[in-house]
Structure 1
Amino acid sequence: MAVVGGGMAGLGAAWALEGARRGGAALEWDLYEREPRLGGKVLTVRHDGFVVEGGPDSALAEKPWPIRLAHELGIGDRLLDANEDVRRSFVLWRGRLHELPEGLVLTVPTRLLPFALSRLLSWRGKARVGLDLVLPRGAVARAFRDGRAAADPGLDESLAAFVRRRLGDEVLERIAEPIVAGVHAGDPERMSLRATFPLFLELEARHRSAVLGMVARRRARQRAAPRPAATGGQPRSYFYSFAGGLQDLVEALVAALPAARLHAGLGVARLAPGGEAGAPPGGRYALTLDDGRLTVVDAVVVATPAFAAAGLLRPLVPAAASLLDRIGYVTTATVSLAWRAADVPHDLRGFGYVVPRVERRPVMATTWSSSKFAGRAPAGHVLLRSFLGRAGAEGPAELDDEEMVGVVRRELRETMGVAAPPLFAHVFRWPRGMPQYEVGHLGLVARVEAEVARLPGLALAGGAYHGIGIGDCLREGAAAARRVLEAAGAVASGDGAGG
């Protein structure tokens, strides 16, 4: 068997396959990754006591797969809570940082007084939010309530349409858009609500009102037993990481897999039917490697970006390849800069700030990394991380390094008063790095998966399909491995990837 792609989905698939092999299944597997390192967008640089994240800086406790995997790998004691004592976030609006109201959950207010006192929205905007309490359900939510949505994955609406309909234009412009851009780098006018924030539809279907639904959800979570302390190996905070950065998980996973089966720096140039002329005998699929070698396998997990998967699948499933070509991507970049604490005059009690699209600034968000997690900077120092590139505005993420650092420094001088030169700057580029889940995404993915399912022993995994987070990718990789194991008649031991 072969896994093509060594990001988190590919590693999750490899862990599941190795678990099956160790559990007695008669199988051999190899993972191929064109880049010289494994882990995909999980990239941590440790520099003179600083822990600098190049891609994501945290995972979500509500998606448990990385936590389970950490315990399987023996690094549960390295799980690290976010600093809940300073869990505040801000929005840059008209040149000022405004704190997001306490009780705001995914753009929906759940506490009246902090929301009423916020200066981020006008009184007209706040009153418009109040209409959510009396407005009827939308068409998609009615379909969910009536049980019709499950049979039609293409039934959808945009995130912007939902927020505008339930909460109004000001919430969309000043809160929802910058928050979702910080997660997906997307445009809410095009983003699929059902694929990105299905919770909104579930709440509207059940409670009619987004506000009432979110309040009920918050109260239910408060009544639930609190999470055990992080010292017990489970995060207490919503965001969590690892003591040495997210790459702790990648390094432990790679170390636990057989080194001889991991081929970093060697990609797959072509995927074809196993009976193709020149292929070795046996096996359903022939893989042409970048070095020209040809290998034949019974099953393949393709865990690459959708555009790369399209190229590999075109000789086998041209209809699926054409559909995969329709999944768009956005180029993004992060710039991390370090200072002595004395050189940063701004109050850093918080996680950072996001920037609405209408502000027309090149930086779409800045995380105060050394405030969000302990151990990200040595004592007396500060680490900040800025994000560039969003749907329809990728130019800032395509500047050269010197220009990009200059842009970020100017932004931080204007927004936070940081004028001193940084101790260092690290630039991380992610060309075509963020998949876009546009309206109808789940229907598109269902069609892709139906086409791929016609070929036994072939499966897709990765952030382009059912979630972009680390936990999503691990889950998708393990699920794809299970599908090819079933097709090959092998039996997996557990479901791998922390399952």
Structure 2
Amino acid sequence: MKKIAVIGAGVSGLSTAFYIEKLGGNNVSVTVFEKEAVPGGKMLTVIKDDFIIETGPNGFLDNKPYTLELVKALKIENRLYRSSDRARKRFVFVNGKLVRLPENPVAFLSSYVMSLKGKLRLAAEYFIPPKKDDSDESLSSFVKRRIGEEALEKLIDPMAAGIFAGDPDKLSVKAAFPAVWHLEKKYGGLIKGLLAMRKEKKDATAGPGGVLTSFKGGVKDLIDALVASIKGRVFTETDVKKLTPEGGKWKVTWEKGDEIFEETFDSVVLSTPSYIAAALVQRFDRKLAEKLHEIEYSPIAVVAFGFVKKGLGHDLDGFGFLVPRTEGRKILGALWDSSVFPNRAPAGKVLIRAMVGGARQPHLALAGEEEIARIAYKDIKKIMKIRHKPIMTAVFKHPKGIPHYTVGHVEKVNEIFKLASKHKGLLLNSNAYRGVGVNDCVYNAMKTAESVVSE
């Protein structure tokens, strides 16, 4: 029987363990190690004063099959919770007011998000020749080249902050937005690509598509189902101290309580953030560790506010809003969670989550909890014209929150995986490498499990 260690019990690690057992059957024995008391990584759900609060992502998009297939395999389809129609209404804070983002070209023409000059520049993208080489470039460079400076400021910069908490001047378009990058490579431009895809009857979108889907009890439902499904051992509050290659196998040394344990495994999957993986491989592969350390992370804080709905001053009719950096605010945006998923707040109450920090203002995410809450409340009060004080506040700090896929990330990851492949039985799988969304994590978990079982 093949013994496999999975280090890290976020959605990537748990999904990898699940698929290893599914593919390997009785021929594999899996042990999962998790440093924290509760599995899930940053995908945690907290109940406070009857509010259902996500500390990180609030679901996944159903435009890709991977998470839905996992849910089916776990037999928890009855727990799925699709977002309300309100989630289609998204806003951006421009020129000191909330403006609804247009959903189609006709709505875009009459929208106040961009000036007439900016709209004409965007439309001119059809005539812009494609970049001649395949070299990577920043999101800012790509957007300015193809659709103009105003589109970058008012549309793309806030989107980058919302997805990656990232800086468009540093984000790699090839790694962070591969669908957009491929439109230019394959079709010669974004508008040409979208028109061609519509003719081919494909999903003609380069941005987030599909319906946002979560679970009745929050993302915790998925994590709990994964933990319950794993037949092998799942160790929590367990700190892996050392990873040692030993005659084609791997000795794992870990600390639980005041005791030190050791065990040898045939394969090890590092489903940790890249900086933790770097610390574990440092002793036997310094070059791999150096490359892993090169992957940056953006700090972010999530602030949840519960309010009495009556007399709030805003109808929360939508998904929420994002804030361009040119507006000079301290929050990146806010999600109207109880509008998207109505059961997230008790009757007569609403739940809003604001995001603070990111690559834009990292120091804000590292401030004290009271200060972060004060900053977030001040901004949402002014932007949304809120009249109430919150009846519930919760702050969740993530000092190394979201991997920041900077220019050259694809090549860096290719080099990391090439170096790792020299060590038989060593695999890497987390959101640090090839996609930060839940769908990406589940897909990469499937591929990693296939590699482990077929080795």
- TM-score between both structures, scaled by the size of structure 2: 0.93
User: How far 1:52 sits from its partner (Å)?
Assistant: 1.1
Identity %, equivalent residues: 35
Long gaps (5+) in structure 2: none
2:64 paired with 1:71: no
Which residue identity does 1:338 align to in structure 2?
A: G
1:138 to 131, 136, 149: 131
Hey, what's the Cα distance between the residues in 1 that align with 2:387 and 2:203? Answer: 47
The equivalent residue for 1:495 is none
Residue from 478, 481, 495 that aligns with 2:446: 478
CA distance in 2, matches of 1:205, 1:171: 20
Show CA shifts across 1:262-309 (max 9, x none).
Answer: 00110211111225xxxxxxx611111124222211110011000110
1:341 Cα deviation after fit: 0.7
Which residue does 2:10 correspond to in 1?
7
1:170 matched to 2:150? The reply is yes
SS of 1:273's partner is strand
| 1:217 partnered with 2:197 | yes
Deviation at 1:374, TM superposition (A): 2.7
Q: What secondary structure sits across from 1:292 in the alignment? A: strand
| CA-to-aligned-CA distance 1:299-332 (integer Å, 9 cap, x gap) | 1001100011011111222221111111011111
Following superposition, the deviation at residue 411 of structure 1 comes to 0.9
Aligned to 2:236: 264
Map of 1:228 onto structure 2: none
Q: Report if the CA contact (8 A) 2:313-2:387 is conserved.
A: no
| Residue type at the aligned position of 1:376 | R
Unaligned runs of 5+ in 1: 104-110, 144-154, 225-235, 276-282, 488-499
Partner Cα separation in structure 2 for residue 220 and residue 383 of structure 1: 41
Q: How many angstroms apart in 1 are the aligned matches of 2:89 and 2:383?
A: 17
Identify which of 7, 10, 19 aligns with 1:16: 19
The 8 Å contact of residues 63 and 472 in structure 1, kept in 2 or not, is answered as: no
Q: CA deviation at 1:343?
A: 3.6
Partner of 1:447: 415
Superposed CA deviations along residues 441-485 of structure 1, whole A, max 9, x for unmatched, are 111111111111011111000000000111211222232232222
Alpha-carbon distance, 1:221 to partner: 5.3
Shift of 1:350: 0.8
Match of 2:222 among 249, 259, 280: 249
- 1:89 maps to 2:90: yes
Would you say 1:431 and 2:399 are equivalent positions? yes
Per-residue CA distance 1:189-228 (angstroms, 9 max, x = gap): 111111111111222233323123224435655899xxxx
Amino acid corresponding to residue 236 of structure 2 in structure 1 = A
Give 3-state SS (helix, strand or coil) of 1:162's partner. helix
Partner in structure 1 of residue 40 of structure 2: 39
Separation in 1 of the partners of 2:203 and 2:380?
41
Say which is worse superposed, 362-371 or 197-206, in terms of deviation: 197-206
**Counterpart contact for 1:457–1:485, Cα < 8 Å:** no
Q: Secondary structure at the match of 1:285?
A: strand
Q: Which residue of 1 aligns with 2:121?
A: 128
* 1:381-400 map, 5 Å: 381-400=349-368
Instruction: Map 1:398-409; keep pairs closer than 5 Å.
Output: 398-409=366-377
Distance 1:380 1:456 in 2: 57
2:251 maps to 286
Q: Is the 8 A contact 1:303 1:477 kept in 2?
A: no
| Matched residues, number | 445
Please report the RMSD computed on the Cα atoms of aligned residues, expressed in angstroms.
1.9
Partner secondary structure for residue 415 of structure 1: helix
Q: Is the 8 A contact 2:278 2:289 kept in 1?
A: yes
The residue identity in structure 2 corresponding to 1:11 is: L
Partners of 1:11 and 1:474 within 8 A in 2: no
| 1:428 Cα deviation from its structure 2 partner | 1.0
Q: How far apart are 1:363 and its partner, in Å?
A: 0.6
The structure-2 alpha-carbon separation of the partners of 1:171 and 1:5, relative to structure 1 and needing over 3 Å to count, comes to same
| Alignment check: 8 A CA contact 2:15 2:442 kept | yes
Deviation for aligned residue 1:412: 1.5
Distance 1:345-1:135 versus aligned 2 partners, 3 A rule: same
Most deviating of 114-123 and 202-211 = 202-211
SS in 2 for 1:29: strand
User: 423-432 or 473-482, which moves further after superposition?
Assistant: 473-482
